């Protein structure tokens, strides 16, 4: 099952929060958080008018991930606020179910305080004891230096680079694929 035991952790600013499995009650905050990040511009494939998730579809995703062996969806909350989330989605076939892709997003005002490290580490800890998982991968824009720095610090290495993978504000941007073996 895609669940973890909840854990209290302290951020760099001294605030305490909880790392836990996402529940459907988090869906409204997650959708709002994601809309805010998409509006910022440089981090997402979708532009604001292309974002299709709703509270209903996000709730369905949260339920699906909780009931799947090889998937995990985590949030880090401070009080009642969802500060960020991570979702890891493994592939569907038996030959590829040991691996998959994750994405992680932190609310702007909570960045640089350790939430990203907590969420990625939480996913990796889950993966180490998960019966299916052997490898975790991700795609990141080559321009996203902060995210690449975090992933490198946590042991991810470059798997490949896809040249001219996106056109952002009329300019080509490469995407970088990174991976880490979990066993």
Ligand X SMILES: CC(C)(COP(=O)(O)OP(=O)(O)OC[C@H]1O[C@@H](n2cnc3c(N)ncnc32)[C@H](O)[C@@H]1OP(=O)(O)O)[C@@H](O)C(=O)NCCC(=O)NCCS
Q: Which residues bind ligand X (CB under 6 A)?
A: 37, 43, 103-106, 111-117, 140, 144-147, 149-150, 153
Nearer to ligand X, 2 or 122 (CB): 122
CB of 31 to ligand X, least distance (A): 15
Task: Determine the 3-state secondary structure of 65 from DSSP.
Answer: helix
Q: 33 is written with which tokens?
A: 């958080």
Nearer to ligand X, 114 or 122 (CB): 114
Nearer to ligand X, 43 or 91 (CB): 43
CB of 147 to ligand X, least distance (A): 4
Label residue 161 left, alpha or beta by phi (over 0 means left) and psi (-120 to 50 means alpha): beta
CB of 119 to ligand X, least distance (A): 8
CB of 15 to ligand X, least distance (A): 12
Beta strands in the chain (DSSP E): 7-10, 16-21, 72-78, 81-90, 100-106, 135-141, 157-168, 171-181
Pairing outcome for strands 16-21 and 135-141? unpaired
């Amino acid at each position: 099952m895609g669940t973890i035991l909840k854990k209290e952790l302290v951020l760099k600013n001294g605030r305490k929060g909880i790392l836990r499995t996402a529940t459907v009650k988090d869906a409204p905050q997650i959708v709002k958080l994601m809309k805010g990040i998409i509006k910022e511009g440089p981090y997402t494939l979708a532009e604001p008018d292309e974002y299709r998730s709703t509270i209903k579809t996000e709730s369905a995703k949260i339920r699906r991930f909780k009931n799947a062996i090889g998937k995990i969806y985590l949030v880090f909350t401070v009080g009642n606020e969802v500060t960020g989330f991570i979702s890891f989605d493994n592939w569907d076939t038996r030959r590829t179910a040991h691996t998959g892709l994750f994405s992680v997003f932190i609310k702007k005002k909570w960045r640089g305080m350790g939430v990203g490290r907590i969420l990625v580490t939480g996913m990796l800890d889950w993966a180490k004891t998960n019966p299916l998982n052997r490898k975790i991968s991700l795609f990141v824009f080559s321009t996203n230096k902060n995210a690449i720095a975090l992933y490198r610090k946590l042991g991810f290495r470059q798997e490949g680079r896809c040249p001219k993978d996106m056109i952002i504000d009329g300019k080509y941007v490469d995407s970088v694929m990174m991976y880490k073996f979990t066993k």
